[in-house]
Structure 1
Amino acid sequence: MARTIRFHRQGGPEVLTIEDVDIPPPGPGEVSIRTRALGLNRAEALFRSGTYIEQARFPSGIGLEAAGLIESVGAGVDGLSPGDAVSLVPPRSMLSWPVHGEFVTVPAELAIKHPPTLNWKAAAASWMQYLTAYGALIDIARLGKGEHVAITAASSSVGLAAIQIANRVGAIPIAVTRTSRKVQALRETGAAHVVASAEEDIEARLREIAGEDGVRVVFDAVGGPAFLPLTAAMSRGGILIEYGGLSPEATPFPLFNVLSKSLTLRGYLVHEITGDPARLAAAKAFVLDGLSDGSLKPIIARTFAFEQIMEAHRYLESNEQFGKIVVTL
């Protein structure tokens, strides 16, 4: 039996419980892990509330990120042994492999031996944010040196990861955040420029920053009315990659911006990367190199104890965090 985070109905953080659950031993191609830290993501709040891309079956586990020590390995597992310190690539389904619990059993290909310089909190905070940002900026957009990239929801963990990745390849990250309250922190984190969308004219500021060439890549988690000024400031042949939908307002289709500039508007999920072995291998190599040389460094907003899981989810939904929320065991 192991303490596991579950919920029996959809709702707010109050539906989460900690229950003793039987965890099956690892089958062929699987590993069991004693977790030391769990990373929280917006996807878990959506899954819990019933607004995610998959629906829970009750009672349901939850969770996409964890780090810990391998307890045992199943038949056919090579390269991993009991005692190895690993962190987990987010599974493609929380229905099949929820990882927020004291012990979890997952496919061995999800477990990565991370650099020894990474502590448990940073290890649990790494893979969702960096794989998401890498897949959009490097794998799809082919962001390169000297190019401007506008990053909305910039103070989120994925937004901060995107800033670090842009800097790593020599691009120019423009952080777009709602108010000026986080401007200084974003600059200190590596943003070359910061735009406060509720206080400034987004299109005018982006044009001022990027000049005649415009912004070739937009990495957006918000949607809503900002689609119009964002696309208006993009360069001909630019690409806007949408990976979220934080705005409660309708998202207009910027028809004439798209037509006049031959823009690409593209939806994106990290599952594109995690579900493709070749693309995932390239992403792992990029992220591990960055974690090892320090160019990629997870920023932890706040840490909660396992028993404070409801409080951690409330903080996640407050939108007050700057970086990643982590739960420790």
Structure 2
Amino acid sequence: MRAAFIEETGSPDVIRVGDLPIPEPGPGQVLVRIRAVAVNPFDLYLRSGLVSMPMAFPQVIGSDFAGVVEKPGAGAANFQVGDRVWGSNQGLLGRPGVAAEFAVIDEEWLNPTPALLPDADAAAMAMVGITAHLGLFHRARLQEGETVYVPGGAGGVGSMVVQMAKAAGARVATCAGSPERVDVCRQLGAHLVLNYKTDDIPARLREFAPEGVDVWYETQREPDLETNVPLLRKRGRMILMAGRAARPPSPSDCSIPGTALSSASPCSTPHRPSSGPARPT
């Protein structure tokens, strides 16, 4: 099979495209014929060696995928040959990547692809969708009727936050930096869309949510927590996601009464959306 792989970490020049044997699925695994693969920042961290994880060279790269079940392994009973599937978090922690014609994937990492969703869209939505879902529902425990603000609503994670929060019955505010991207945010369903280059974001948010924002999903690398935290409602929650080197200063050394810090990573456990109204995916 044709595959993109590396035999050492380093610059993009270490990526090779060539032939590798088609892998055989083991117990509880599924051989997937890959139809689409996405590229995320974490793929770059792994390839460059910025993040160190076990690899078996030649290591196929890529973590997000969509495809079709080619062959279930022994004991893999949840999917049949021909089923369309999508997933993420491959190529991590010793798992092989998916930038190849075929990939062997543990069945627990596979999700059924909705009938009307193209494979390319399923792969592109994988990591950003999981990230948005974890923040909104697993950590922030978003409830119907609450107010959500996410900067960058036309971006990867931001666009998923807008759509999921809207589907869950929240009031959604966001911002973008151009008229075209403002229009994208409106088309995604945001109730309030601001242009961060021209609008007074804090003032407009106070008008939109006089008692404060319930869930602030921060997507900027260096957020202004001194400004943002006071815009939260009492018992409001802020989700921070940033680049590997981001170190935003924390206001008052986190001594604000009622402040709690928590963390989550989508790279350690399979994604299983919760049931009920908080499952817009």
* Pairs within 5 Å for 1:205-244: 205-211=204-210, 213-244=211-242
Match for residue 38 of structure 2? Answer: 39
8 Å CA contact retained: 1:64, 1:94: no
1:253 has 2:253 as partner: no
Deviation at 1:148, TM superposition (A): 1.4
| CA gap 1:286/1:4 in 2 versus in 1, 3 angstroms | farther
Which structure features the higher share of helix residues?
A: 1
SS at 1:173's partner residue?
strand
> What residue in structure 2 maps to residue 300 of structure 1?
none
Q: 1:191: which partner in 2?
A: 190
How is 1:99-138 mapped onto 2 (pairs within 5 angstroms)? 99-138=98-137
Moved more, 88-97 or 129-138: 88-97
> Cα deviations across residues 191-250 of structure 1 (Å, max 9, x unaligned)?
222234454444333223211x1112111232414222221211222211123228x764
- Select the structure with the greater relative contact order (CA < 8 A; seq sep ≥ 6): 1
Q: Any conservation in 2 of the 1:73–1:80 contact (CA below 8 Å)?
A: yes
Contact 1:243-1:267 at 8 Å conserved across structures: no
| Cα gap change, 1:287 to 1:40, in 2 (>3 Å) | farther
Q: Contact (CA 8 Å) 2:132, 2:160: kept in 1 or not?
A: yes
Residue in 2 aligned with 1:262? Answer: 258
- Tell me the CA shift for residue 55 of structure 1: 7.1
CA RMSD of aligned residues (A): 2.9
Percent identical: 29
| Matched letter for residue 228 of structure 2 | L
Q: Name the structure 1 match of 2:65.
A: 66
Aligned residue for 1:50? 49
Query: Closer, same or farther in 2 for the Cα pair 1:243/1:110, shift >3 Å?
Result: same
What letter matches 2:218 in structure 1?
A: D
Closer/same/farther in 2, CA of residues 108 and 260 from structure 1, 3 Å limit: closer
**Which residue identity lines up with residue 34 of structure 2 in the other structure?**
T
Structure 1: unaligned runs, 5 residues or longer: 291-295, 297-329
TM-score, scaled relative to structure 1:
0.74
Work out the CA distance in 1 between the residues paired with 2:11 and 2:195.
Answer: 29
Q: Secondary structure at the match of 2:148?
A: strand
Deviation at 1:85, TM superposition (A): 1.7
Measured after TM superposition, the shift of residue 157 of structure 1 is 2.1
Q: Does the CA contact (< 8 Å) of 1:155 and 1:182 recur in 2?
A: yes
CA distance in 1 between counterparts of 2:223 and 2:33 reads 44
Give the secondary structure class of the aligned counterpart of 1:45.
helix
Q: How many residues align?
A: 281
Equivalent-residue separation in structure 1 for 2:277 and 2:101 (angstroms): 26
Change over 3 Å in CA distance of 1:109–1:13 after alignment to 2: same
